[in-house]
Chains A and B, each alone.
Chain A
Amino acid sequence: MPIEKAERLINLTMALLAAQRYIKKSQIFAIVAGYSGNAEAMERMFERDKDDLRNLGIVIEVGGLDPLFDDEPGYRIKQSEYALALENLTAEELSLLAVAAKTWQDATFSNSAQSALRKLRSLGIENDATNYVDAPFHIKISNSNFALLWNATIAAQILVFEYPDQTNRLAEREIQPYGIAAWRGQWYLVGRDVAKDAIRVFKVARIALGCKVRGKVGAFQLPIDFDISHHLVMLQDRAQTPVILQVRKDRCHGLRQKSKIIRNDAEWDELEFIENNRPETIQEILWYSPDVIVISPKDLKMAVVTSLQEMAKNG
């Protein structure tokens, strides 16, 4: 009775793991249970099996039995390449990794997170449940391109997608993805635009659905000095500016949360806070209009007044 493919793959893995030296294909066919049929059929079966095991991340080494005389390659799996090598992992570190994995619950990578966690728990280390109990929060990603973008970045595979240009029309871009980053919950892909031969940053939410990979894994080399944080302007230090506002009594609660009251009268409170993101500050002040007046700085006051004039005109 022919045996199941999964059984043959397990037997092959075990035989290659047990091999002290490279074993030839003919030996594999002779000793590993599951290979049957004529030579060509077994040959095809073995080629598929090698691909399958590699898809599981198992590294099959190919080498000569005798570097001088033998022309037929042999195969083996090194235990050091197969097994999870996180020696001396402490219980506390294991708990921390469990928490890190749990951040991906309900997200695109929940299966991989669970599988990683299971492998870690198979190391036979007791969890230190007292230190870290649960992830501080779970990340939810609904973008259907996301897993593809992530895996292409890890595998150094070229991406092709449509992205809005300056006129907001979708244009095709061919990108070597160098990195993927999240800043305040927004995801960004950083990569080399092949046509422009320059590094560009793409907001993942703006990449049109139907993103594809092109070519092979390992298609390009990441520059040695590449550091994703250098390409994200929001991570650079920004100027800190004191802001003084007048806000109506019992209004503008959001602004009050980050400010201290420096003066007040019957109708208004004067608040002060330090801002380091001008566009966000302008938006927040406009949100609370007309219950807020900018006192200083002058350029912030001008920006708010100009925006309000624009809005008043459009009515």
Chain B
Amino acid sequence: MDKPLARTARLLDLIPFILSHQGITIVDLAKEFGVTEKEILADLNLIFMCGLPQYTALELIDLSFEHGFVTVREPQNLDKPRKLSSEELSILIMGLDVVQTQIIDPVKQQIAKNLQTRLKLLIESAAANSILYADDRHLPHIDCINRAMQSRTALNISYLNTSKDEITKRKVLPIEVFQQGDEFLLLTWCFLSKANRTFAIARILSCDQASDALADVNSDTDPMLLTPERRVTIKFQYDRSALSFIENVQDRVIEIDQTEMIASVEVWDSEWILRNVLANAGHIKILAPVQFAHEVAARAKIALSNY
């Protein structure tokens, strides 16, 4: 959207917003619309000049914004917010799908469903019924995590490290829960690592709000911090069945030939990549380093000896 058009959209949205937030400060208004105070002042000055044909004092939009507080006295016919665009409606419809995956209360579920039906009636395109967010995984401990984020309190968690196949206990300050790829992740400040750490929520086995003060930083140190760099580059050939694996490690791919289906990935944790190769058995063949290929084969042979 070009600048004058984006500004027109903002001006049209400003009036009903101020009407429902009479006395709002210029600072808050600028923050709400994501522009500078200077831009908001210029907008308000411009709105002041707009009105209905004849453009006498009676037909102009009337607002006051002296002393840093904004009030609309006469919005003329721009008192209502603009209708939601197709993009806005569609993302709200899908957002309600997302919310429903985590609501347990059936009454609230129904409210969300009814609301979604109402929004679908507003969308002009038939595509209202062709967007869908589905997930059958209910996030464990999500209420506890969200409560801790709101109250800015720390959490004591026990966490399953699947590469090492071990459970560790950590104290973390939760920052954000997000979904990236197929995982739900929790970004935290980790008191053990003394750094930001991201945890897969599905692998948080227990979670309680810490009763002690935030300043009471755990004096333990993450053993990972004491470990020297163990960066490993693995080159392998893959087939179509391992495409999902390639997509999941996209950030770590340093070289890829999609025609020959050969990739090199750089990883910090050789145990993690070794287990991934085992999990994709028959679809990933290690080309280098050779000792890594031997390690995978040796582990497969031990596993076979169990049968």
Binding site for B on A (CB under 8 A): 3-7, 9-11, 13-15, 17-18, 31-33, 52, 55-58, 79, 81-86, 92-93, 96-97, 99-104, 106, 109, 112-116, 118-124, 131-140, 142, 150-151, 153-156, 164, 166, 168-170, 178-186, 190, 203, 205-206, 221-222, 224, 226-229, 232, 235, 251-254, 257, 283-284, 286-293, 301, 305-315
Stretch at the interface among B63-71, B174-182, B207-215, B218-226: B174-182
CB distance from A59 to the nearest CB of B (A): 9
Q: B9 contacts which of A56, A226, A293 (Cβ < 8 Å)?
A: A56
For B2, give the chain A residue with the smallest CB separation: A52
Q: Is the CB of A96 within 8 A of B111?
A: yes
8 Å CB contacts to A: which residues of B146-180?
146, 149-150, 160, 162, 165-167, 176-180
Q: Is the CB of B285 within 8 A of A99?
A: no
CB distance from B122 to the nearest CB of A (A): 7
B146 neighbours in A (Cβ, 8 Å): 133-134, 136
Q: Is the CB of B92 within 8 A of A97?
A: yes
Would A14 and B307 be within 8 Å (CB), given that A228-B130, A312-B301 are in contact? no
For A133, give the chain B residue with the smallest CB separation: B150
8 Å CB contacts to A: which residues of B62-103?
76-78, 80-92, 94-96, 98-99, 101-102
> CA–CA, A184 to B183, complex, Å?
8
Q: Is the CB of A134 within 8 A of B20?
A: no
> CA–CA, A255 to B66, complex, Å?
65
B50 CB within 8 Å of chain A? yes
Stretch at the interface among B188-196, B227-235, B289-297: B289-297
Q: Is the CB of A156 within 8 A of B125?
A: yes
B34 neighbours in A (Cβ, 8 Å): 114
In the assembled complex, 9 residue pairs joining A and B whose CB atoms fall closer than 8 Å, in A order, are: A14-B77, A135-B98, A136-B101, A185-B183, A205-B247, A286-B279, A288-B165, A308-B304, A310-B281
CB distance from A153 to the nearest CB of B (A): 6
Closest 5 CB pairs of A and B: A315-B297, A100-B95, A179-B130, A290-B303, A307-B281
For B86, give the chain A residue with the smallest CB separation: A154
> CA–CA, A139 to B26, complex, Å?
31
Scoring A116, A178, A206, A224 by chain B CB atoms within 10 A of each residue's CB, the highest score goes to A116
Q: Is the CB of B5 within 8 A of A253?
A: no
Q: Is the CB of B181 within 8 A of A186?
A: yes
B78 neighbours in A (Cβ, 8 Å): 10, 13-14, 17
> CA–CA, A93 to B116, complex, Å?
10
Q: Is the CB of A101 within 8 A of B95?
A: yes
B115 CB within 8 Å of chain A? yes
B136 neighbours in A (Cβ, 8 Å): 184
Binding site for A on B (CB under 8 A): 1, 4-5, 7-9, 11-13, 16-17, 19-21, 32-34, 46-47, 49-55, 76-78, 80-92, 94-96, 98-99, 101-102, 108, 111-112, 115, 118, 122-123, 125-127, 129-137, 139, 142, 146, 149-150, 160, 162, 165-167, 176-184, 203, 205, 240, 243, 247, 250, 258-259, 261, 275-282, 285-286, 293-294, 296-307
Q: B130 contacts which of A82, A206, A222 (Cβ < 8 Å)?
A: A222
Q: Is the CB of B179 within 8 A of A185?
A: yes
Q: Is the CB of A155 within 8 A of B130?
A: no
> CA–CA, A101 to B115, complex, Å?
13
Given contacts A10-B78, A313-B297, 8 further A-B pairs with CB under 8 A are: A9-B5, A18-B52, A33-B53, A96-B112, A119-B88, A134-B146, A154-B131, A181-B132
Q: Is the CB of A229 within 8 A of B132?
A: yes
A235 neighbours in B (Cβ, 8 Å): 134
For A139, give the chain B residue with the smallest CB separation: B179
Would A150 and B87 be within 8 Å (CB), given that A186-B182, A291-B165 are in contact? yes
Q: Is the CB of B49 within 8 A of A315?
A: no
CB distance from B117 to the nearest CB of A (A): 12
Q: Is the CB of A134 within 8 A of B80?
A: no
Q: Is the CB of A290 within 8 A of B160?
A: no
Q: Is the CB of A289 within 8 A of B299?
A: yes
Would A84 and B82 be within 8 Å (CB), given that A103-B98, A309-B304 are in contact? yes
A168 neighbours in B (Cβ, 8 Å): 240, 258-259, 261
> CA–CA, A125 to B306, complex, Å?
66
Q: A106 contacts which of B91, B178, B298 (Cβ < 8 Å)?
A: B178
A101 neighbours in B (Cβ, 8 Å): 91-92, 95
